[in-house]
Structure formats: structure tokens, C-alpha cells
Amino acid sequence: MSQRQPSMSGSSPAGMTISDAPESPAIAAPIIDVRGLLKRYGSLAAVDGVDLQVRQNEIFGILGPNGAGKTTTLEMIEGLRQPDAGSIVVAGIDVVADPVALKRVIGVQLQTTALFDHLSARELIRLFAALSGGDTSSRRVDELIALVSLEEKAGSYVDQLSGGQRQRLSIALALVNDPTVVFLDEPTTGLDPQARRNLWDLISDLRNSGKTVVLTTHYMEEADILCDRVAVMDHGQMIACDTPLNLIQSLDVVATIQARLNPPVDPETIGSLIGALEIENQGDQLFVKTRDVQTTLGAMLLRAEELGLRLENLTTAQATLEDVFLTLTGRSLRE
Amino acid sequence: MSAFIQMTVANLRMTARNRVALFWNLAFPLIFIVLFGFLFSDTSVTINVGIVGADQSEVATSITNAMKATDGFKVSVGNEQSELDSLRNGDRSVVVVFGAAGSGQQVPTDVYWDSSNPQTGSVALNAVQSFLTQAGAGPASAQPIAVTVHSIVSSGLSYVDFLVPGILAMTIMNSGILGLASAFVSYRERGVLRRIKATPFPLSSFIAARIVSQLVIAVVQAVILIAVGILVVGLKLNGNLFYAFILVIIGSLAFLSIGFVIASFARNQEAADSIANAVAFPMLFMAGVFFPTDAAPKVLQPIIRLLPLRYLADGLRNVMVKNGSLGAQWLNISVLVFTAAVGFALALKLFRWESSAV
């Protein structure tokens, strides 16, 4: 899917990928600038003083467990909810003061994908293009249908579409006005792995065609693979914000090396290994935690040679955003 | 403007493709018209005859008794005033008034029939006339009675004429209250309204597009119901169809506004359906859709006077089958306009984008 030609206007830095995304925060003015965002429901602060800056042409992920305040944050930035305090500027528009102007330049996919019954995918795209002040020509509608690969389902009603097709349709609806910024609220929730990967390709293509994408997710692998930068939210607060790589690098432990020892021996027998932060075993399984896989693994292989041990089922597992979340909050993302 | 038209067309498309809506909007009222139209059709063999002066002469008495003994005549004997009143309000098809006559003279006989109801009226007249002629053709060479025929325009309508405007009013109420409340609450519950809110399309335009499409639907419903009424059950239009469509639109606005109010405070679709039914159902039976409100008990009359449906049914009947002018419907129209104004004002005040606060 990655070879699909971007058909959106304003094609620009096509080569911008995760690896060469700008690392320095001091580049152009952010396209989204949120300061001190606050939203209370009764005594509960659903969003509690959030600051965030999204750069032009990046995929920005808001990661957090259910109820962390991701959707509320997103909907305030989209102009769908009034914040109790704070300022939101999107593409130079003051969102609180002029939500209508905002809605002309953004595209929105809501968490619930409910749409009108008894209208076909094609009719829905044309209708929402009209409602959003976009291009309603058949050529443009066909283009959007092709972009989200719904050619075969263009004449089907929403209730005849699968979950993944519905999500792709609602992404097409978010693009009808050729927006500068696209907001996707949990776009892959409830999808099977294949449909999820298809959607990741589609979202990457959006970024590659010059748009800025802001999405929420509670899947850490999604944030890891898809997002250029990730904000981690918990209890209405932003607890970290950086590239997935930097977030993981900030951890003490970056990787875990695991192997089955044959014959099994105690960790004391193995002794210390260069770069190893922690060595422990569970039954015949050995776990070695390290910041430097290459060095520690080399030392481990040498030590095994010396002791006449076989390391079976040798694997290394990189730390993930899950570990970042666990470290930051003391809880698992899935709790 | 293009967005508004697209939204309106989309609403119409969705309604036309929704089988449930089609049933309630069209099939349901049509079933009522056809079923009730045939059940209570006037083509029954019984002819209501009123006889006055049956005891005025021997001839009159014998004719009266002979008619009473004949199947097909339902004979009532009364005084001239009350029998002619009954004819005028549609309870009699024919009234025969025997005059006084000296012996040997012909009995002057006046036959009144209801010409506003030509089919039934003329059948009844022919039957009575031929009966009178036969009965008169006694052994005496001279005719014992002299018949004079008078036609009278009754205000009494055939049941079909009464029923079809009533069913039309009911249909407009149903798609206004039940259809709109249910659809709107479901849009809100499922997040469709929020998706609309995420576009630059204003709420007022969204609601206006909905209203315009509902009005188009109401006019189409009226055309179909009236056509079926005429072609299938013999509705006799006697009035101005243009006035009828004006009332259809005003009535539609009134019931749409009630639907919007219900949609505004109902928490979910089940609640909306229940409230809508609780509002619409009593109106259906108390507001004179199927039977005249005069027949209802006196204690109910003050309540009946509060039901907007009564005013729509009444107005439609007046302009469709009683040749009423639009100006004469000022009370009916005022009540409906008032309902619409209060309803929309209230609905705008109560409007919510989302089901719950969070």
C-alpha cells in the first residue's frame, strides 16, 4: 500500500519518515498550540492543564488508557467542546473564538463512526463534502473513494460495511474539505490486525501527502510504529511528550535478553556481564536487562562458551511505550 | 445553498429507502383508508328512509307498513321537522312526507333526497320511488298518491369523506411527532449530530433541511392518500385542494415542532418513542380521526378542544369535502400556527447535541 500515489494536494516532504523527522523542537511555529487546557465535569478534572504543540506535517499521537482524557482533549481542539480554561490555536485560528473557521480547515473522525443509514458510501462522501464546503464533483468523490480503497463498496450502505471499511469511510469523510490538520480518534479500535495495518498505511500516506495528523490511541505499538511524536496522557495530564524512540531511550532499561539455559545454572554461576543492569532467572529461563544489547549479548555468548552452556531460544525484546507508561505511572496501559 | 439542498435531498433519499418509515408514512394510513372505507362503505343495501305523516291516510299507512316489511329499507317514522333535520345531517337517505287528503283525492307526497351524496341518494330515491309507484298502483284506476321530488344538500358526509381527511391529519401527525422525534434522538444517541457539529454546516440549516424534507414528504403523502381515497374508496372532493395543501403544511409544522420538543428532552430513543406515542395515541382516538368528536362523552370535550390534531382534521375536512374557505378556518389555522411557534421556540431552547453531559 505504501506505493500508492498520494493524491492529495500540497504534496511536500515525501521523504519525511520517523527516522529523519526533525528532532529539534525549535523549528517552524507549531500548527497546533495548546496551553493550559482545562475541562471539568463536576469535581472531576477530565483534562487538567494540558500543554501541547503539534508540528506541521507530523503524525502526533496521544497515548493513554481509557478515561485518560484523550478524547476530551481532542474534542476541545476540534472545537466540539468548550474548554473551561486554556488557549487553543490551530493553523493560526483561535479555536474558542472562531470554531466555524476552524472547521473549514480541519478534518475530523469521531470515535463513534455512526453515520446516516440508507445512504451509500459515495452519497455520504458527497453529502459531507457539501456540508464541509469541499469539492463535491464526481471526480473528487471517486478520488477519495480510491484513496481509502472503497471502490467495491462505494454503492453500499454503511451497515453493509465491515468495521475496517467503516473506519476508512470515516477517514474519507474527514478529508472531504482537503483539511490541513486531520484528527482521528482511536481510528483502529476494534479492528483486526490486517485492517489495522491497512489503516496505518493510509494514515502514513496522509502525512506523506503533506497533512498533519493528530490521533488518539491506547495501543502502544500503534503509537510506536505510526507516530512521529507521542504525548502520553494519564488522569487528564500530559506526563511525557517526545518521539517514541526518545521516550524509550529515556528508560533505564532498553532491552531484555532472554534465553533458556541448558543445563540450567544459577545467575551467580554466570556472574556479572558488561552492560547488564539486572540478571535473573525463572526456572531455566534467564532474563538479562540492559541498555546496550550488542555489548551485553556479546559478553553473554562468551560467558556461555566458557561455562559450556547452550543458550536456547535466544531472543531480545526492545522496551516499548508500554514500559514507558509503566515506568511513568507504575501501572500498565491496559489496566 | 448547495449544502442545504444536498442535506434536504439526502433526508428525502433516506426516508424513501427506509422500509419502516415507508410503512408508517404510507402503508399504515392506506390500510386504514381502504379497510375502514370498505367496512363502513355506503354501498350497503340498507336505505334509511324517514316517513312523515304515515297516519295521515290509509294509503300512507299501508305504504309505510309495506316498506317496514321490506328488507333493504330501514324505516323511521317521525315529524317533518326532525326527519328533514336527520336528512340534512346525513342520517336519512330519503324522507317521504305524506300529506293529508280527502277521500278519493290523491295523497300529495313529497320525497326529499340528499343530493350531496349522489350515489347513495339516487339509489335510495329510485328505490323509494319505484316502491311508491308499485304501492300506488292499486286496484283503483287513479294513482292514490302524487309524488313530488325535492333534493336537499345535506351537511352529513359519507363516512369515506369523513375518514380520508382524518387519516391524512393522522399521517401528518405521525410523521411529524413519531418520525421526527425518533430519528432525531437516534441521531443524537449515535453521534450523528456530533459529526454534523464537526462540519461548518450550521445547526439551524441542518434543522431547516430536515423540516423542508418533512414538508415535501407530507405533501407527497397527501397526494397519495387523496388519490387512493378517490380511486379506491370513492372519496368525493368538494372543496379546494390548494387550501388542503396549505393546511397540510401548517399542520406538518405544528406536529414537527412537537416532535422536536420531544426529541429535545428525551434521553434515548426508547424514551422518545414512548413519549411520542403517549402524545400521539390519545390524539388519534380523541381528535375525531375515525369518528366525529360530537360522539365523545361531554367530560372529554374540554380535553378534545386542546388537541392540535382535532383542528387539523377539522380544517382538512372543511376545505376538502365541505367546500369551506380558507378564511373560515381561521381558528384551526391559528391553533396550529400557535402550536408550531411555541413548539419551535421551546425546542430551540432545549436543544442538545449530545445524549449526556459528559
B345/B301 same-domain check: yes
- Enter the DSSP assignment of A182: E
Q: Which of B210, B195, B211 is nearest to B353 (CA)?
A: B195
Decide if B297 is inside a domain: yes
Mark whether B171 and B300 lie in a shared domain. yes
Which of A41, A46, A110 is facing B198, going by the closest CB pair? A110
Same domain for B174 and B122: no
Q: Is B77 on the interface with A (CB under 8 A)?
A: no
Q: For chain A, which domains are there?
A: 32-243 (3.40.50.300), 255-318 (3.30.70)
Cis status, amide bond into B118, omega within 30 of 0: no
The values of phi and psi at residue B178, to 5°, are -70, -50
Residue ranges of chain B whose pLDDT lies below 50: 43-44, 139-141, 357-358
Query: Looking at the structure, do residues B63 and B9 belong to the same domain, yes or no?
Result: no
- Same domain for B273 and B124: no
Distances, alpha carbon A239 to alpha carbons A89, A233, B92, in Å: 21, 6, 88
Considering the entire predicted model, what is its pTM?
Answer: 0.76
Q: Which ranges constitute the DSSP H helices of B190-240? A: 192-197, 203-233
Closest by alpha carbon to B354, among A166, A44, A41, A38?
A: A41
Contact A302, A287 (CB under 8 A): no
Q: End-to-end CA distance of chain B: give it in Å, rounded.
A: 34
The answer to whether A133 contacts chain B (CB < 8 Å) is: yes
A40, A84, A122, A131: best to mutate for the B interface, most B CBs within 10 A? A131
Q: Last residue of a domain, which of B152, B171, B188? A: B152
Number of H helices, E strands in chain B: 15, 5
Where helices occur in chain A by DSSP H, the ranges are 70-77, 99-105, 121-131, 138-147, 163-174, 193-208, 220-226, 244-249, 267-270, 293-307, 321-329
Contacts of A119 in chain B (CB under 8 A): 10, 13-14
Q: How many Å apart are CA B351 and CA B210, to the nearest integer?
A: 15
Interface check for B321 against chain A (CB to CB < 8 A): the answer is: no
Q: B198 and A112 in contact by Cβ < 8 A?
A: no
Q: Domain boundary at B152, B185, B211, which?
A: B152
Torsion of CA A39, A42, A46, A50, to 10 degrees: 40
Q: Is residue B25 part of a domain?
A: yes
pLDDT attached to residue B125: 74
Q: Do A118 and B14 touch (CB under 8 A)?
A: yes
Check residue A1 and give its pLDDT.
39
- A-chain residues near B196 (CB < 8 A): 131
Q: Is the ipTM of this complex over 0.90?
A: no
Which residues on A lie below 8 Å from B6 (Cβ)?
126-127, 130-131, 136
Give me the residue from A80, A116, A133 closest to B197, CB to CB.
A80
Inspect the interface and report whether the beta carbons of A128 and B199 lie closer than 8 Å.
Answer: yes
The verdict on B357 touching A (C-beta cutoff 8 Å) is yes
Q: φ, ψ for residue B48 (rounded to 5)? A: -80, 115
SS3 A263: coil
**Domain co-membership, B167 together with B309:** yes
Helix/strand/coil (H, E, C) string of B246-300?
Answer: HHHHHHHHHHHHHHHHHHHHCCCHHHHHHHHHHHHHHHHHHCCCCCCHHHCCHHH
Q: Tell me which residue in A46, A110, A131 faces B194 most closely, judged by beta carbons.
A: A110
Q: Does B268 touch chain A (CB under 8 A)?
A: no
In a domain, B112, yes or no: yes
B349 CB within 8 Å of a chain A CB: no
A314: CB partners within 8 A, 6+ apart: A257, A258, A259
Q: How far is B82 from chain A (nearest CA, A)?
A: 59
How many angstroms separate the CA of residue A170 from the nearest CA in chain B? 10
Q: Quick one: angle between helices B28-39 and B203-233, nearest 10?
A: 30
Domain count, chain B: 2
Same domain flag for B94 and B243 = no
The Cα of A95 is separated from the nearest Cα of chain B by a number of Å equal to 12
Assess whether B84 and B171 both reside in one domain: no
Task: Give the closest residue to A179 by CA, choosing from B27, B232, B199.
Answer: B199
Range of the domain at B228: 2-39+158-350
Q: Given B115, B132, B152, which residue is the final one in a domain?
A: B152
Q: Are residues B9 and B68 in the same domain?
A: no
What residue of A is the nearest CA neighbor of B197?
Answer: A80
Q: What is the CATH number of the domain that holds B53?
A: 3.40.1710.10
Our CA-based measurement puts residue B198 at a distance from the nearest CA of chain A, in whole angstroms, of 6
Q: Identify which of B17, B198, B357 has the shortest CB distance to residue A103.
A: B198
Residue B291 lies in a domain: yes
Rg from Cα positions in chain A: 23
B355 touches chain A (CB under 8 A): no
Query: So what's the pLDDT on residue A16?
Result: 40
Tell if the CB–CB gap between A115 and B7 is shorter than 8 Å: no
Question: How far is B163 from chain A, CA to nearest CA, in Å?
Answer: 33
Which residues of chain B neighbour A156 with C-beta distances below 8 Å?
none
Q: Residue B358: its chain A contacts at CB < 8 A?
A: 41, 46
Spacing of C-alpha B323 from chain mean position: 14
**Contact with chain A for residue B358, Cβ under 8 A:** yes
* B135 within some domain: yes
The answer to the question of residue B355 being in a domain is: no
Chain B residues closer than 8 Å to A173 by CB: 195
Can you read off the three cell numbers belonging to residue A261?
539455559
Q: Is residue B143 part of a domain?
A: yes
Cβ distance B190 to A104 less than 8 Å, yes or no, reads no
Backbone angles phi, psi at B16, to 5 degrees: -65, -25
Q: Do B201 and A112 touch (CB under 8 A)?
A: no
**Three-class SS state of B355:** coil
Q: Are B69 and B144 members of one domain?
A: yes
B16 inside domain = yes
Question: Do B295 and B335 share a domain, yes or no?
Answer: yes
pLDDT string in tens for chain A (335-residue length): 344 443 444 334 443 444 444 444 445 689 999 999 999 998 889 999 999 999 999 999 999 888 899 999 999 999 999 999 999 999 999 999 999 999 999 999 988 767 888 999 999 999 999 999 999 999 999 999 999 999 999 999 998 999 889 989 999 999 999 999 999 999 988 888 888 899 999 999 999 999 999 999 988 889 989 999 999 999 999 999 999 999 998 888 889 999 998 888 887 888 888 888 888 888 888 889 898 889 999 998 998 898 888 888 999 988 888 888 888 888 776 65
Interface check B17 vs A, CB under 8 A: yes
Query: Is there a single domain that holds both residue B79 and residue B192?
Result: no
Nearest CA in chain A to B356: A41
Residue A127 and residue B6: Cβ atoms within 8 Å?
yes
